[in-house]
Amino acid sequence: MSDFDGRAYARSLSTGPGVYLMRDAAGKVLYVGKARNLRRRVASYFSARQKSPRIELMVRKIAVMEVSLTRTEAEALLLENEWIKAHRPRFNVNLRDDKSYPWIRLELGHDFPRIGFYRGPRKPPHRYFGPFSSASAVREALNQIYRLFGLRQCRDSVFSNRTRPCLQYQINRCSAPCVGYISKEDYAADVRAAVRFLEGRNEDVIQHLAERMERASGKLEFERAAAYRDRIRAVQQVRSRQFVTGGSADLDVIGIHFEAARAAVHLVEFRHARNVGGRTFYPGNLDDEMSVADVLSAFLGQYYADRTAPPEILLSAQPAQAALWEEALEARRGSRVRLSWRLRGERAEWVRMAKANAEDALRRRLGERDQIGRGLAALAEMLELPTPPERLECFDISHISGTETVGSCVVFGPSGAQKKDYRRFNISDVAAGDDYAAMEQVIRRRYSRVLNIAESLPDLIIIDGGKGQLARANRALEALGLDAIPLLGVAKGAARKAGHERFIMGDREAVPGPHHAASHLVQQVRDEAHRFAVAGHRRRRQKRAQASPLEQVPGVGPRKRQALLRHFGGLQGVRAAGVEELERVEGIGRSLAEAIARYLRQPRTG
């Protein structure tokens, strides 16, 4: 029980609107809320009236509170959800959406700008389109852009070293600016047309392509003119598939299904009159006292906390504080935002489908959770654990012939994979191909960090490997004083078939077989650890393959590297150049030229 005097604190507060935040004794944020009257709202938590068990537990943990005043209740609503997004409080509804949203990025600052898929923070001077609700929606849009306008996809390092067109040119998805097959002016016109296409201005795009077709026809370049004709038809087909009629061409459709304190929210985006994809969310931290209106209100706040709402949002039910949400979203957008839930005709059908998708997604998710729960119970019984484990961590090692070795850690709980807790480890200082030493290093690094930052420890650790890997993992845990954590090794069985693995725990071994619930769960967890490790290994190997030796020369940064590659037409030209020739490149002095020549001519290993 905390010593925090909530009633005295509430009496000191303003009666105006604002946001309040509750922390526990360790400083962790418990809850974020907003109020029209801060004093009255905060005081309600400490009144004598009966509260739900969830609220009672939260109030007992409060050690300190903070408030921030706002000018209006709408401002408080927006700030509340920004704080929820930032702190992810334990007692707030949580979207559990840890992925950054995908964008299309047009990389400006180059004579021939590149356009492609992007996740991450938006930085100038580039231009961004989105965010999109799913990666597939981005890739579909990019495929149309490459096919219609031939904009380049390759990185600058590849672009500057091409001597002949790549396969993308051969299949009519690039205009080959790298080898001068298109002028800077014509490429810039194609970039402007692609931007108009992303903005939904298809008539302008058709006009641009028609002008190109007529110009090619006038020069008797009939094959090129035919290609432009085909592109015009493709744009017209895209336009014919646009089926949003009446009202706004930009809107979001939101359907929700809520049962047994579990919810799924399915959102479909329409941009420039086109369906650009859908995505399902699973809000967490719900209880039986919440209503559909409460969950929808929380979803609106967190989903639109870092994005601009479209002019119209269609919903399967009325959210709590709907009028206030319209006011808050309008303030952020700078123009009217309308929430609609009493719908007819085509719009009612879109919402019905979104709600059906949410219902189906929740049914499947609850089924998966039941299956994981059965697997955890079976695992606890087989391994003689006192209770089913709440947190599993599984480790795997991936490499090819001992190179670019990567270790993975994946985390599972009763609700399935906890992807935000996944970790990868680039392995160093071990002999090539020594999986035992690599596993020991991964375990030591993982749990040294867990102890340093007081993260949650697992109830069971699974090692993808036999007695050798298990022994080295156990040695690392003993050195950290964590040898009390149960350790399970999963080794291939005699048949080397999935489902026939040997489970090794201490001196005991078991082969539960392909139909055992514990075997199903361990297979799922181990396969996920393997997938995550292999993906990290491939990324590391690809990075090494694409790296330029010039990056290893001290004093040669990106600009000097580009200057050298452009001056000599590629790495082979730089390697063949003498010191005096290297000096002729702007920014390359005598000592640096000697260092470059010395490094590039030394024998390569590996």
- 3-state SS, 32-95, equals EEEECCHHHHHHHHCCCCCCCHHHHHHHHHCCEEEEEECCCHHHHHHHHHHHHHHHCCCCCCEC
- Distance of alpha carbon 407 from alpha carbon 440, whole angstroms: 10
Is the peptide bond preceding residue 486 cis, with omega within 30 degrees of 0?
no
**What is the model's pLDDT at position 99?**
57
Assigned token pair, 515: 């139909």
CATH number for position 28? 3.40.1440.10
Assigned token pair, 112: 């021939």
User: Greatest CA separation found in the chain?
Assistant: 88
For residues 530 and 408, membership in a common domain is answered with yes
For residues 527 and 425, membership in a common domain is answered with yes
Distance in angstroms between the alpha carbons of the first and the last residue of the chain: 61
Query: Does residue 242 carry a pLDDT above 50?
Result: no
* pLDDT higher at 52 or 338: 338
For residues 534 and 570, membership in a common domain is answered with no
Closest CA to 158 of 179, 188, 134: 179
Range of the structural domain that residue 48 is part of: 6-87
For residues 400 and 490, membership in a common domain is answered with yes
- Distant-in-sequence, close-in-space partners of 252: CB < 8 Å, separation ≥ 6: 267, 268, 269, 270, 309, 310, 312, 313, 314
pLDDT tier at 318 (50, 70, 90 boundaries)? very high
pLDDT tier at 571 (50, 70, 90 boundaries)? confident
**95-111 pLDDT, tens digit each:** 765 456 788 899 988 88
Residue 423, SS3 per DSSP: strand
The verdict on residue 182 lying in a domain is no
For residues 482 and 565, membership in a common domain is answered with no
For residues 267 and 295, membership in a common domain is answered with yes
Angle at 534 between CA 131 and CA 448, to 5 degrees: 90
Cα-based distances in Å from 280 to 96, 272, 273, 589: 11, 22, 21, 57
- The model carries a pTM of 0.61
The verdict on residue 529 lying in a domain is yes
Assigned token pair, 502: 């040997």
Query: Does residue 300 carry a pLDDT above 80?
Result: yes
- Say how far residue 323 (Cα) sits from the centre of its chain: 32
**402-460 pLDDT, tens digit each:** 888 999 999 999 888 898 899 999 998 888 889 999 999 999 999 998 888 767 889 99
pLDDT tier at 247 (50, 70, 90 boundaries)? very low
| Pairing between β-strand 338-340 and β-strand 312-315 as defined by DSSP bridges | parallel
Query: Does residue 251 carry a pLDDT above 70?
Result: yes
The verdict on residue 403 lying in a domain is yes
Burial label, 123 (beta-carbon count in 10 A; 0-12, 13-18, 19+): exposed
**589-598 pLDDT, tens digit each:** 888 888 888 8
- Distance of alpha carbon 244 from alpha carbon 275, whole angstroms: 9
For residues 535 and 396, membership in a common domain is answered with yes
| Average pLDDT of the chain to the nearest whole number | 85
Residue 517, SS3 per DSSP: helix
* pLDDT higher at 270 or 569: 270
The verdict on residue 288 lying in a domain is yes
Averaged over 185-191, what is the pLDDT? 90
- Distance of alpha carbon 274 from alpha carbon 276, whole angstroms: 6
**What is the model's pLDDT at position 605?**
47
- The values of phi and psi at residue 342, to 5°, are -100, 100
**556-567 pLDDT, tens digit each:** 887 888 788 778
For residues 352 and 299, membership in a common domain is answered with yes
- Distant-in-sequence, close-in-space partners of 527: CB < 8 Å, separation ≥ 6: none
CATH number for position 589? 1.10.150.20
pLDDT tier at 401 (50, 70, 90 boundaries)? confident
For residues 562 and 540, membership in a common domain is answered with no
Averaged over 488-517, what is the pLDDT? 83
The verdict on residue 380 lying in a domain is no
For residues 570 and 527, membership in a common domain is answered with no
Number of domains in the chain: 4
Task: Give the end of a domain, one of 60, 87, 114.
Answer: 87
The verdict on residue 271 lying in a domain is yes
Written as one string, the DSSP assignment of 485-498 is S-EEEEE--TT--T
The verdict on residue 536 lying in a domain is yes
- Distance of alpha carbon 420 from alpha carbon 531, whole angstroms: 16
* pLDDT higher at 169 or 205: 169
For residues 397 and 496, membership in a common domain is answered with yes
Task: Give the end of a domain, one of 87, 114, 149.
Answer: 87
For residues 494 and 558, membership in a common domain is answered with no
Query: Does residue 160 carry a pLDDT above 90?
Result: no
User: 10 Å Cβ neighbour count for 560?
Assistant: 18
Averaged over 18-24, what is the pLDDT? 93
Closest CA to 341 of 274, 259, 252, 275: 252
480, 447 in Cβ contact below 8 A? yes
Strand partners, 508: 505
The verdict on residue 219 lying in a domain is no
Query: Could you give the percent of the chain with pLDDT greater than 90?
Result: 35
**525-535 pLDDT, tens digit each:** 999 999 999 99
Averaged over 71-95, what is the pLDDT? 86
**What is the model's pLDDT at position 595?**
86
11, 39 in Cβ contact below 8 A? yes
| Pairing between β-strand 274-281 and β-strand 312-315 as defined by DSSP bridges | unpaired
Query: Does residue 30 carry a pLDDT above 90?
Result: yes
CATH number for position 532? 3.30.420.340
- The values of phi and psi at residue 326, to 5°, are -60, -45
**What is the model's pLDDT at position 2?**
66
Averaged over 519-545, what is the pLDDT? 89
- Distant-in-sequence, close-in-space partners of 261: CB < 8 Å, separation ≥ 6: 286, 287, 288, 290
Task: Give the end of a domain, one of 528, 544, 560.
Answer: 544
| Pairing between β-strand 29-35 and β-strand 64-69 as defined by DSSP bridges | unpaired
Query: Does residue 587 carry a pLDDT above 80?
Result: yes
